[in-house]
Structure 1
Amino acid sequence: MQTWFITGASRGFGLEMARAALAAGHKVIATARIRRHIVDALQGDHERLFALTLDVTQPASIEAAVRDAVERFGRIDVLVNNAGYGQLGAFEEVSRDQLVRQFDTNVFGVFDVTRAVLPIMRRQRAGHIITISSIAGMSGGAGSSIYCASKHAVSGWSEALAEELALFGIKVTCVYPGRFRTDFLDRSSVRYGDIKIADYAAFSTARIEALDANNHLQAGDPQKFALAIIDLASNKAPPVWLAGGSEGYRVFMAKANALRDNAERWKEVATSLDVQG
């Protein structure tokens, strides 16, 4: 039996992972900004479920949740950094205020929650940190530059963190899901740019219409995703990078091929820059 600490557990991936972990017999600390939403979705607390209020942008909220979790269950074996949202829109149409809010949640929130949990895992000399990134953290795309930047940030951080924490027996995995049938594109979740620029009008309108048309029609199954994450946490040698869904696999392969082709095309320039002699 493991003890899981999941952020953003009131809906989407977070809720499905909480359900799957409970079904597998694990203990779960399920957190979200509005605790009642978790309680309603999971039908109340019980001996293996502890629902907590947690706003990842508020350090005091993080500290209180982690403290209460350890008091209740004594340890944290798996941390799932899942809380986040998509700030979409062309770069120039996203204000600095929107940019800061995106990074406060998707990046600094992840950092702060992990920083609060790591002392517990180091004392245990065991643990697994699973951070939900996105295919946007593997390959950039027009109309989502700020979201891509936030997910690339936790991707690079996860790679380095995996090396730092191996000394303590703590594993790190960054997961890159493609498009899944969650409410990610609902207007209660996704955000669009708050600056209107005429040059981007046609592009932005077409992109919003396309995303709205695809909402809840995505290929990925959130329940299958959750089950895969539960299995991942039991793996003795989990990967640092994990693609999510067939779209995630395609993006991984396309990125790998593009990097290889780029490296070969520009090999002469790259290798000419070393000090000679």
Structure 2
Amino acid sequence: MSYPTDRPATWFVTGTSRGLGLELVRLLLERGDRVAATTRSVERLASSLDGTATTNLLPLEVDLTSPTEVEAAVARTVETFGGLDVVVNNAGYGYLGAVEETPAEDVRTMFDVQVHGTWNVLRSALPPMRAAGSGHLVNVSSVLGLLPFPGWGLYVAAKHALEGLTGSLAAEVAGFGIRVTLVEPGYMRTDFLTPHSLVLPGDTVEGYASIREMTSAHQAMPGTQLGDPARAAAAIVRVVESGDAPLHQLLGSDTLSLVEGQLEALRADLEASRTLAVTTDVPA
């Protein structure tokens, strides 16, 4: 089992100023675990934690898109706490707009944060974990990492990339005693759908009335989502402590329903493809 039972665990968590990341940091500190919490603003994190001061908290202002900064942050964590047990890649933001109206700069920025940033953390965290022969890597994806959704093309693309990366990673590091989990939550009562965390395209394209309606509906959603971020944080801790969680850990009844529908659609496509698929084999 890669989670320590004889001492406080050391966690490295990204995206901790708000939402799920903040709730996870609060819970871990309450448990007595040691937490390196990355943020774009240490001041905002301190304010979010109501000025909580503890030797178990190492706040780190890090640009996750910078390999050098990430490497230094992980090194400081190991130096401060003597090791690294769990990494939670949680940093990210939403983007709601049609594929046609999403500019190239927005695409690059999204992938820099959601994919390249996660990759930077993984590259830096793996050496000490391999040396220890243990550890747990948790990548926070989304229900939209498992299914497409109109208007969310950029966010979906980044989360699908994260899903593929994580699946490959899990197979690569299993022999080192390192566990890997994708956490896939549905809608939670965080500020994800507010201007703090949701980006819209600067210019829209006429004709996408359904996307505009969806945007308005999502902007009106905060406070009505099914998911509780504090409960989701507790679920992540259970995933790590259990030692036998599946690669894909879904969170939320809405996620279960949507993914079940996606599986049925994929099965229908498989059957519809079967006759033509076998015609492309080299003749025996």
TM-score by shorter chain over 0.5: yes
After TM superposition, the structure 1 = structure 2 runs for residues 1-277 of structure 1, keeping only pairs within 5 Å, are 1-42=8-49, 43-200=51-208, 202-277=209-284
* Alpha-carbon distance in structure 1 between the residues aligned to 2:20 and 2:27: 10
* Alpha-carbon distance in structure 2 between the residues aligned to 1:228 and 1:183: 20
1:142-174 deviation per Cα after TM superposition (whole angstroms, max 9, x unaligned): 101011000000001111110000010111111
Residue type of the alignment partner of 2:153:
S
Q: CA deviation at 1:67?
A: 1.6
1:90-144 deviation per Cα after TM superposition (whole angstroms, max 9, x unaligned): 0111110111111000111011111111111111111111011111110011101
Structure 1 gap ranges (5+) = none
Partner of 1:234, secondary structure, is helix
* Alpha-carbon distance in structure 1 between the residues aligned to 2:104 and 2:223: 30
Q: CA deviation at 1:45?
A: 3.4
Q: CA deviation at 1:2?
A: 1.2
TM-score, normalised to structure 2, is 0.94
Q: CA deviation at 1:183?
A: 0.4
The percentage of counterpart residues that share the same residue type is 39
TM-score, normalised to structure 1, is 0.96
* Alpha-carbon distance in structure 2 between the residues aligned to 1:22 and 1:252: 33
1:185–1:215 Cα contact (<8 Å) kept: yes
Residue type of the alignment partner of 2:233:
A
Partner of 2:207, secondary structure, is helix
* Alpha-carbon distance in structure 2 between the residues aligned to 1:37 and 1:233: 27
Q: CA deviation at 1:24?
A: 2.4
Partner of 2:266, secondary structure, is helix
Runs (4+) of structure 1 exceeding 4 A deviation are none
1:181-225 deviation per Cα after TM superposition (whole angstroms, max 9, x unaligned): 00001112100112222122x233212210111122211110110
Structure 2 gap ranges (5+) = 1-7
Q: CA deviation at 1:50?
A: 1.1
* Alpha-carbon distance in structure 2 between the residues aligned to 1:24 and 1:176: 24
Partner of 2:130, secondary structure, is helix
